[in-house]
Chains A and B, each alone.
Chain A
Amino acid sequence: MKLRQIAKKLALTVKAGETNLDAEVTGGYAGDLLSCAMAGAHKGNLWVTLQGHLNIVAIASLIELAGIIVTENKPIAQDTLAKAAEEGIPILATPLTTFEIVGRLWEMGVRT
């Protein structure tokens, strides 16, 4: 499934990286400890977190994630968005909780 379809179906707001929404999503990872995301997320995954720190972009870039969903409308730092735009990493925002977003992704067939 492509990120663009997921964004549309879950009504996610695209905050950065809109040029890379046609990436194929291979699965997902949820969590807010970046050290765990680095160890547990895989290439092509969609990462669901409420962290908006700049380091999320570096991790997404390093692992070649399909994108990041920031939940609960948590603030995303300006430098995070700027770097994501530069790196072409899609960052999508939602008012929903991580629990709810992950449940819906799973229902849609995005599974690890």
Chain B
Amino acid sequence: MIADCGFRISDFGNSQFEIRNPQFEILADLHVHTVLSPCAEVEMIPPFIVRRARELGLGLIAITDHNAAANCEAVMRAAEGSGLAVLPGMEVQTSEEVHVVCLFDTLEQALTWQGIVFNHLPDLPNPEETFGAQFVVDANGEYIRTETRLLITSTDLTLNDVVQRVRQLGGMAIPAHIDRPMASLLVNLGFVPPGLDVPALELFRLTRPAEAIAQWPELARWPLIRASDAHQLSEMTPALRLHIKEPTLAELALAFAHKDGRSFALVERQ
């Protein structure tokens, strides 16, 4: 069942929005953690993530560990030849303690962003016994090293800093789980800041758009997407249906804006 999330291609019904390029429909989960996130289960290794994604019929996922991108390449490699597209990304924590999903087209962009983020994170050790271990692994899920630096904390980059810098790198910033009771745009900052220049807002995986709009009417004006924020395999979900030409950020932006025949819809949970 497709949730009501605004306009659909058929709503326009005129040639202004005719599809010029061949489209395909793809199920996406744009917020997935790996074992590099201390709070993720040890099963969140590249081959298992890829296998689970295929079982769920996902055609696109994004790897978004807390303030880190070191496992993106491993998942991208694990997905080679599987039919699953993987966008490298990160879930960054702003100085306001708002979580923001940052997506990139290339690994190089993600690693450049990683360098910037590390320069804006306090250089503290990760207390493993409290938060959990942070593992960097290869495409087979084999251990490479432990990230000893504290990842679960705020950068000193503001929300606006993150949005602007990610865009400068060619990436896309999407406030994460905006309706969750902590680390979220709506709770930490009260409402969507005027002029916030992002292409979409991410709802928590269990939230229905109508529920969120009932609580925060301003959300009716925004493209509301949904992603799993999976920290374990069973949380991964094909929550987003995209009609795009290829799995790139440019296409995602068109889909979120319902432009040029691209579109998105939310897939309701069973």
A54→B188 contact, CB < 8 A: no
B190→A38 contact, CB < 8 A: yes
A35→B187 contact, CB < 8 A: yes
Which among B158, B187, B190 is the interface contact of A59 at CB below 8 angstroms? Answer: B190
Nearest A-chain residue to B160, judged by Cβ: A77
Interface residues on chain A, size class: 10 to 19
CA distance A37 to B160 in the complex (A): 21
Q: Mark A64-78, 1 if CB is under 8 A from B, else 0.
A: 000000000001010
Contacts of B95 in A (CB 8 A): 75
A5 contacts partner chain B, Cβ-Cβ < 8 Å: no
CA distance A53 to B191 in the complex (A): 12
A34→B188 contact, CB < 8 A: yes
A55→B187 contact, CB < 8 A: no
A51 contacts partner chain B, Cβ-Cβ < 8 Å: yes
CA distance A58 to B187 in the complex (A): 15
Contacts of B260 in A (CB 8 A): none
B160→A34 contact, CB < 8 A: no
B188→A33 contact, CB < 8 A: yes
B190→A54 contact, CB < 8 A: no
Closest 10 CB pairs of A and B: A34-B190, A35-B187, A55-B189, A35-B190, A34-B189, A38-B190, A53-B96, A55-B190, A55-B193, A33-B188
Residues of A within 8 A of B (CB): 32-35, 37-38, 51, 53-55, 58-59, 75, 77
Q: A34-B187, A51-B96, A77-B160 are in contact. List 7 more A-B contacts (CB 8 A).
A: A33-B187, A34-B188, A35-B187, A35-B189, A53-B158, A53-B189, A58-B191
